[in-house]
Each structure stands twice: as C-alpha cells, then as structure tokens.
A and B are shown apart, each in its own frame.
Chain A
Amino acid sequence: GAGVSQTPSNKVTEKGKYVELRCDPISGHTALYWYRQSLGQGPEFLIYFQGTGAADDSGLPNDRFFAVRPEGSVSTLKIQRTERGDSAVYLCASSLTSGGIYEQYFGPGTRLTVT
C-alpha cells in the first residue's frame, strides 16, 4: 500500500514569507509526527498528533511554527515569517497509534530553503 507522502518535495522561499508543508500519513494511522533535520544533524522532534489533536508540541521552536490535522489524517505544518535558520528537511512519520510500541514510517521529507 501507499506509504507516507509529503508535498512539496522541495520548497524555496524568500525570508519573511509564509509556507505550508503537507503530510499524508498511511491510511489508518492515528499517530502523526513532524521532525526537522538540519544539514549534518539527526532529526529533531517538532510536534505529535494523536487523531486530530496535538498531543505534544514541545518541539516547536517558536510561535512562528504551527501545525494542524483537522480530520485526523492529512497534516499541514505552517511556518510564518520564515527565517534563513528555518532551512532544513522537514520529515513526517506516522504510526498505527502512539500507545504500545509501533513502528514509525517516514515520508521522503520536504526540503525547505529560505533565501
């Protein structure tokens, strides 16, 4: 079946602009995670959804970052007033649920470049 998909695969934007990154999880997966990976680093946790609600947003770096998952499937990560430091690969992962030990399946990522 289809895996986790993310769009766009690449996004170049100017400093100060607003961007939206989309994640389509595996069908039936209720848990959805956003991570950010800077060049040469391991991914860092941003936010986690169980169903429609953000159960843990402790990794969001500041209030310019926001994410939604209104119907419990597709999620959108929104970044306002982008800064050059936001340039990174944004990864999405989904799992069957957060309870218990379930595998997380990763999307291919969106490479964001802020110029």
Chain B
Amino acid sequence: KNEVEQSPQNLTAQEGEFITINCSYSVGISALHWLQQHPGGGIVSLFMLSSGKKKHGRLIATINIQEKHSSLHITASHPRDSAVYICAVRGGATNKLIFGTGTLLAVQP
C-alpha cells in the first residue's frame, strides 16, 4: 500500500463545477503539499499546510491531522485548471517529500 493515496486518479468536469480531490496518508508528517503539474511542464507548489485550511483564489486546501486526510477544492473550475494535481507529504529529519500518484483533471468548456 502506498504511503500517500489520492482519489480519484482521473477526473473530468464541466467548466464551472466544484471539484474535490482527496489525499490520505499513513505516515507521520510535518507538512502536506498540494502541487500542480501541467503536461510537459514543471511542478508548481499550490499549498503547504500543516493544519486547518488555506485559500488562494479559487483554490482551497484543508487538512485533518487526526484523520490523516487532506482535500483540495477548486471552485468555479475553468479549462485552464486542467493539469495533474499531486499530494505530497513531508516527514522525517530530511523533510523529503513522499508523493501520491496524482490526479489528472480535465475541465471541459
């Protein structure tokens, strides 16, 4: 079993829909990251959080430390949101990241 599990693996939405991507992890962490990766592109950090909730524009990330679960929400989705969204947890003395396999999101106009 992977230490970081994401669901769904693939998600297709219509423009304007509210989107939720889930992440569960099984290890102790110091922080959790949500990252965005466009096809052929580099990885961009969206959020780093260790408790509670963060909001940036149309994106919201929440984490429940007790349940070892995090969600990424996208409100009023747009085709430019189409990308792979990756959950990664940070733990251990070196703070290396352990990644989920990603969620491929396609938002159709």
A and B held together in a complex: yes
A residues whose Cβ falls under 8 Å from a Cβ of B: 31, 33, 35, 40-45, 48, 50, 55-56, 59, 91, 93, 95, 98-99, 101-109
Smallest Cβ-Cβ distance to A43: which chain B residue: B99
By a CB distance below 8 angstroms, the chain A residues around B90 are 101
B residues whose Cβ falls under 8 Å from a Cβ of A: 4, 30-31, 33, 35, 41-45, 48, 50, 86, 88, 90, 92-102
> Given A42-B102, A101-B31, A106-B42, is A33 in contact with B97 using a C-beta cutoff of 8 Å?
yes
Q: How far is the CB of A111 from chain B (nearest CB, A)?
A: 9
A61 to B65 alpha-carbon distance, docked (Å): 31
Other 12 A-B pairs with CB < 8 A, given A43-B86, A98-B94: A33-B97, A41-B101, A42-B4, A48-B96, A59-B96, A101-B31, A102-B95, A103-B45, A104-B97, A106-B43, A108-B42, A109-B42
> Given A101-B48, A106-B42, A106-B44, is A45 in contact with B31 using a C-beta cutoff of 8 Å?
no
